[in-house]
């Protein structure tokens, strides 16, 4: 039986309710739907960083994570993919989000499929994703999907679910989720190929993962383009 995909969703919203959490939930839902449509099961772990603020601060000062933070870091290390969403302040991620990234070991992010999201009051902050977030995670060698999803306050103004589904935000979320699932298929293709080689020698075959043959089958990960 195929193991379920492990998805960790990091949300750095500072209030309750939070537009950052709303966007994180929308992206996670889009990813789960994509995976289920491809015949894969997903287990989702949502992490509210505001609930770990004290432990993150202590770990930044002492380099020793507390019990709850240590569990989150292990979940992150074991995850097949990550969705990370932060509010934007002063053309950059929230301090809480950056502190969490600083606390996590660098190797946690290496090769990890990552979907980025950000929220702010107006669309004027949308370029912060490409100027601040994407370079940071590229430096950490994460496999960041091409489509990052930014949402301003006006993007959450739809009156009902059918109206919300027709909004550009929903379309961007679906596209980004598709790219994330394509990265997951690519990440598993090397191991799957090795397994098929061994089974072929024994006269058996293994069906191709359906995620690897989808709408974004021609997508090339950024790490491959950079020659990493």
Q: Which residues contact 68 (CB under 8 A, 6 or more apart)?
A: 52, 55
pLDDT at 153: 86
17 cis-preceded (ω within 30 degrees of 0): yes
Instruction: Name the token pair of 102.
Output: 């600083």
**pLDDT in 10s for each residue of the chain, 228 residues:** 578 999 999 999 998 889 999 999 999 999 999 999 989 999 999 999 999 999 999 999 999 999 999 999 999 999 999 999 999 998 899 999 999 999 999 999 999 999 999 999 888 888 899 999 999 999 999 999 999 999 998 888 655 555 555 568 999 999 999 999 999 885 544 333 333 333 344 444 444 444 454 544 555 565 565 565
Q: Which residues contact 66 (CB under 8 A, 6 or more apart)?
A: 55, 58, 59
pLDDT at 190: 36
Distance, CA of 84 to CA of 76 (rounded, Å): 11
pLDDT at 185: 83
pLDDT at 99: 97
pLDDT at 176: 97
pTM value is 0.79
- Give the model confidence (pLDDT) of 118-163 as tens digits: 999 888 888 899 999 999 999 999 999 999 999 998 888 655 555 5
pLDDT at 41: 93
Domain 5-225 falls in which CATH fold? Rossmann fold (3.40.50)
Instruction: Name the token pair of 171.
Output: 């379309």
Q: Which residues contact 190 (CB under 8 A, 6 or more apart)?
A: none
**Chain centroid, CA 5 distance in Å:** 12
């Amino acid at each position: 039986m195929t193991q379920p995909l492990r998805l960790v969703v990091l949300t750095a919203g500072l209030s309750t309710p939070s537009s950052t959490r709303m966007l994180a939930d929308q992206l996670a839902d889009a990813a789960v739907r994509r995976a289920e449509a491809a015949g894969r099961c997903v287990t989702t772990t949502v992490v509210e960083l505001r609930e770990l603020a004290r432990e993150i601060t202590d770990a930044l000062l002492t380099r020793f994570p507390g019990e709850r933070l240590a569990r989150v870091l292990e979940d992150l290390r074991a995850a097949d993919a990550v969705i990370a969403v932060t509010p934007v302040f002063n053309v950059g991620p929230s301090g809480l989000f950056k502190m969490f990234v600083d606390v996590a070991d660098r190797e946690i992010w290496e090769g990890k499929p990552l979907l980025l999201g950000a929220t702010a009051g107006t669309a004027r902050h949308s370029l912060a994703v490409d100027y601040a977030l994407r370079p940071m995670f590229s430096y950490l060698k994460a496999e960041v999907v091409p489509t990052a999803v930014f949402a301003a306050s006006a993007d959450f103004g739809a009156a009902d679910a059918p109206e919300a589904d027709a909004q550009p935000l929903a379309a961007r979320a679906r596209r980004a989720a598709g790219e994330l699932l394509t990265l997951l298929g690519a990440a598993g293709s090397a191991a799957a190929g090795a397994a098929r080689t061994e089974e072929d020698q024994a006269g058996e075959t293994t069906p191709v993962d359906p995620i690897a043959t989808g709408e974004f089958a021609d997508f090339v990960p950024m790490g491959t383009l950079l020659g990493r």
